[in-house]
Amino acid sequence: MTYKITVYGLVQGVGFRPFVQRAAEKFNLKGNVKNIGGIVEIFVNADHKILDNFVQYLISHKPVGCEVYKTLNEKVPEQTFDTFEIIESEYCNVIPVIPADIGVCKKCMNEFADKNNLRYNHPFISCISCGPRYSIINSLPYDRMNTTMGIFHMCSTCEEEYSTVDNRRCYAQTIACNKCGPILKYTKEGNPLTQAITDIKNGKVIAVRDIGGYHFVCMATDENAVQNLRKLKMRDEKPFAVMFSDVEEVKKYAFVSEKETEALTSDERPIVLVKKNGKNKFPENVCENSNDIGAFLPCNPIQFVLTNKCGPLVMTSGNISGEPIITSNDKMLEIYKNSHYLDAVLYHNRDILTPLDDSIVRIIDSDLQLIRRGRGYTPLPVWLDKNIKNKILASGGDLKASFCLMAENRAYSSQYFGDLENADCLEAYKSNIKRMSEMFNIKADTFVCDIHPGYFSTEHINSICKTPIYVQHHMAHIASVIAEHSIKGDVLGFAFDGTGYGTDGTVWGGEVFEWKDGEFARKFHLKSIKMLGGDELGKNAKNALKNYLWNAGIEIDDKLISSALENDINTVYSSSMGRLFDAVGALLGICDYNTYEGKCGVMLEIEASKANKPYELTLPLNKNEWDVISLIKQISKAKAKSSEISLGFHHAIANAVVEACEKSKIKNIVLSGGVFMNRLLTELCIDKLRKKGYNVYINRKVPTNDGGIALGQAYIASGKVK
């Protein structure tokens, strides 16, 4: 009898077909296997029982990196086969699962270090289980010709390995060697890698072309070099990530738990936020005064060599602050020509088709949480608990922009694009919407965007669809968590955030919603405060404070703000939790200005970590409004250390969350929004809520900041269309 087995899941680019062939030989089966644009189809002659065993074996012995979501067996008209073979890929109309870029594996790095190996020192060594994937794929099926490796013709040795079934590079599309692969170049004479190492050690800043784009690199122990890097990037204060050669090196500077080790060494190789241990320190200008280090390990052979030879390196996205990550050689070489601070460029001739920043994660409540989605995670889907008929494009928001494509039973969240206010970021965002839609064969029929009329992302959706579904920003935050965890039943969702456009036209950001039968209702919120609007509102914490004080009836020495508020000139109403953090940061004299998004929150958390006990504060709930003015008054009168007040402030918010939950009968509690980037607040809330028996859910696979809202938008829309 002839059977057709269809395998759905992550089965491309991970050596699935050669694995099927070996399995078929083991079971003595004849037939064939092929890729059809993202799913694998197997034809075999077998009886029913053997077929079952065979399929069972495929699932239980699947190769590393492979994910089988579903298999389907069908009886088909009898065919005869002489052997079992891998046949040419076919294109067909299904929505595929495309592999993300995979960090280089141990076996490859052993070969890299072996003088007698064909691939000794080959900077682009990879195999069936590792190497770039999504960043180099042009179209499906995932075959060499459809990647940027297509222009490199395999030498006879590589060709032979590629077509030998029991070779670990059989059908490895990125196969290459020193003879036939891409080559490294350097803007100076000599061996590129050796010269780059010398320059870094001499305190220079260089650019290195990696998997998803360029990095700027310098020694993390060299204050001067780091300062030059800051000048090159035009970035003043935000902490830099540091790349270490291995986990032991990280442990010299930070505490690393088992879970964090797992994350650091995972195939995705993300930046992991780990807590400084104080044993060894980098110059202040690396991580500024953060309690954490954004640590990561090499994901490609070049980075392995650089960190091994030079020690810990600042390795930051190769872009000028606010612009997208640079992928093209021409662009980087131009910066090199014009900048005093960039000493050299280490580059290669394998093109990068999809720009991908490094992903950032942290371990919170014993589990991984994505903070920035990029290399290693994009474009792996978030699986849904339902099958939808529509094909949805959700635009996300403008800050930390990321879109989402949703179809069948999965959601593809895009990578991070930065702030769409920058024209190049907007361009990258738009072109990747097109690119991802084509590659995944998701031609959207339903469009979703934020209700904010001034968002570029909203404008983009309006330009392609006259009747999009509009979703409120904070409802999208909450829905993203509901989607991720497939939460059943009613939900009480806390969206604590910087700024979002409310359904009443005011600024929201301290909102609590009830989610029942697919509908949201606003249950509680921070009291809406009259504030002077404008671009500075989200940045200038000192001004935020003046607004609160004026509302508290306390005189302020700022004519502009007081007369604007008195006469209602350019004023807005805001219930934002982010602004409350800003005001408290300024009130305690900890931070007057957000030089990067959410800085006041970060500084308050750092301050709180110095306290032994919290100062007693409360955020009173009157009916459905939290009295923020009362809290501001308590803090301004408080006689205690600012660390204790800061810790007390975090406790007051967490207690307020519990109090709101107790007013509702709902047991499923969701926490989302940018303010929950604050680890202390998140952990306090989780802790206090668990003790009272609530089920608490937070974002895991998409960011809790605005990088996650596209998933929520799509999920809400999926319930609105039939």
The entry of Fe ion, Zn ion, none near residue 105 (CB within 5 to 8 angstroms by kind) is Zn ion
CB of 400 to Fe ion, least distance (A): 9
Token pair recorded at residue 586: 């300024």
Nearer to Fe ion, 218 or 711 (CB): 711
Nearer to Zn ion, 177 or 711 (CB): 177
The entry of Fe ion, Zn ion, none near residue 706 (CB within 5 to 8 angstroms by kind) is Fe ion
User: What are the φ/ψ torsions at residue 237 (nearest 5 degrees)?
Assistant: -130, -30
Contact (Cβ atoms closer than 8 angstroms) between residue 222 and residue 312: no
Nearer to Fe ion, 539 or 663 (CB): 539
Token pair recorded at residue 121: 């020192």
| One character per residue 103-142, x = contact with Fe ion (rule: CB under 5 A) | ----------------------------------------
The entry of Fe ion, Zn ion, none near residue 600 (CB within 5 to 8 angstroms by kind) is none
CB of 545 to Fe ion, least distance (A): 22
Nearer to Zn ion, 120 or 255 (CB): 120
- Give residues with Cβ within 8 angstroms of 51, minimum separation 6: 3, 5, 44, 73
Nearest to 372 by CA among 706, 8, 76: 706
* Listed ranges 425-433, 637-645, 704-712, 713-721: which one lies at the site for Fe ion (CB under 5 A): 704-712
The entry of Zn ion, Fe ion, none near residue 158 (CB within 5 to 8 angstroms by kind) is Zn ion
CB of 282 to Fe ion, least distance (A): 31
The entry of Zn ion, Fe ion, none near residue 130 (CB within 5 to 8 angstroms by kind) is Zn ion
CB of 128 to Zn ion, least distance (A): 7
The entry of Zn ion, Fe ion, none near residue 29 (CB within 5 to 8 angstroms by kind) is none
Contact (Cβ atoms closer than 8 angstroms) between residue 407 and residue 446: no
Nearest to 301 by CA among 151, 181, 148: 181
Nearer to Zn ion, 158 or 606 (CB): 158
- Give residues with Cβ within 8 angstroms of 38, minimum separation 6: 11, 12, 94, 95, 96, 97, 98, 140, 141
Nearer to Zn ion, 256 or 305 (CB): 305
Which ranges constitute the DSSP H helices of 252-386? 258-265, 284-287, 301-310, 329-338
Residues that bind Zn ion (CB under 5 A): 105, 108, 127, 130, 155, 158, 177, 179-180
- Which residue of the chain is nearest Fe ion when measured via CB? 497
Contact (Cβ atoms closer than 8 angstroms) between residue 55 and residue 5: yes
Nearest to 137 by CA among 413, 378, 334: 378
Nearest to 581 by CA among 674, 697, 709, 477: 674
Which ranges constitute the DSSP H helices of 339-469? 423-439, 456-464
CB of 377 to Zn ion, least distance (A): 19
CB of 405 to Zn ion, least distance (A): 30
Distances (CA, A) of 722 to 214, 229, 388, 446, 595: 44, 52, 9, 11, 45
Nearer to Fe ion, 686 or 710 (CB): 710
The entry of Zn ion, Fe ion, none near residue 180 (CB within 5 to 8 angstroms by kind) is Zn ion
CB of 537 to Fe ion, least distance (A): 15
Helix (H, G, I), strand (E, B), or coil: what is residue 716?
Answer: helix
Contact (Cβ atoms closer than 8 angstroms) between residue 8 and residue 69: yes
- Preceding amide of 379 cis, omega within 30: yes
Nearer to Fe ion, 295 or 507 (CB): 507
CB of 130 to Zn ion, least distance (A): 3
Nearer to Zn ion, 176 or 481 (CB): 176
Q: Hey, how many other C-beta atoms are within 10 angstroms of the C-beta on 289?
A: 10
CB of 419 to Fe ion, least distance (A): 13
CB of 482 to Fe ion, least distance (A): 16
Binders of Fe ion among residues 494 to 553 (CB under 5 A) are: 497
The entry of Fe ion, Zn ion, none near residue 388 (CB within 5 to 8 angstroms by kind) is none
Nearer to Zn ion, 44 or 108 (CB): 108
The entry of Fe ion, Zn ion, none near residue 127 (CB within 5 to 8 angstroms by kind) is Zn ion
Q: With binding defined as CB under 5 A, does residue 398 bind Fe ion?
A: no
Binders of Fe ion among residues 445 to 504 (CB under 5 A) are: 497
- From candidates 111, 260, 605, 706, binder to Fe ion by CB under 5 A: 706
CB of 52 to Zn ion, least distance (A): 32
Nearer to Zn ion, 175 or 677 (CB): 175
CB of 182 to Zn ion, least distance (A): 11
Q: Hey, how many other C-beta atoms are within 10 angstroms of the C-beta on 168?
A: 16
The conformation of residue 130, written as its DSSP 8-state character, comes to: B
CB of 578 to Fe ion, least distance (A): 9
Nearest to 407 by CA among 71, 698, 717: 717
Helix (H, G, I), strand (E, B), or coil: what is residue 375?
Answer: strand
Strand 625-626 to strand 519-526: parallel, antiparallel, or no bridges (unpaired)?
parallel
DSSP 484-520: HHT--S-EEEEEEEEEEE-TTSSEEEEEEEEEETTEE
- Preceding amide of 141 cis, omega within 30: yes
Nearer to Fe ion, 127 or 399 (CB): 399
The entry of Fe ion, Zn ion, none near residue 247 (CB within 5 to 8 angstroms by kind) is none
Nearest to 211 by CA among 101, 105, 126, 130: 101
Nearer to Zn ion, 75 or 179 (CB): 179
The entry of Zn ion, Fe ion, none near residue 177 (CB within 5 to 8 angstroms by kind) is Zn ion
User: Given CA atoms 87, 91, 93, 98 in this order, what sign does their dihedral have?
Assistant: positive
Binders of Fe ion among residues 224 to 243 (CB under 5 A) are: none
CB of 376 to Zn ion, least distance (A): 15
Nearer to Zn ion, 132 or 708 (CB): 132
314 forms bridges with which residues in the sheet? 218, 242
- Give residues with Cβ within 8 angstroms of 613, minimum separation 6: 644, 647
The entry of Zn ion, Fe ion, none near residue 155 (CB within 5 to 8 angstroms by kind) is Zn ion
Alpha-carbon span 68 to 701, nearest angstrom: 19
Contact (Cβ atoms closer than 8 angstroms) between residue 150 and residue 144: yes
Which chain residues interact with Fe ion by CB under 5 A? 497, 706
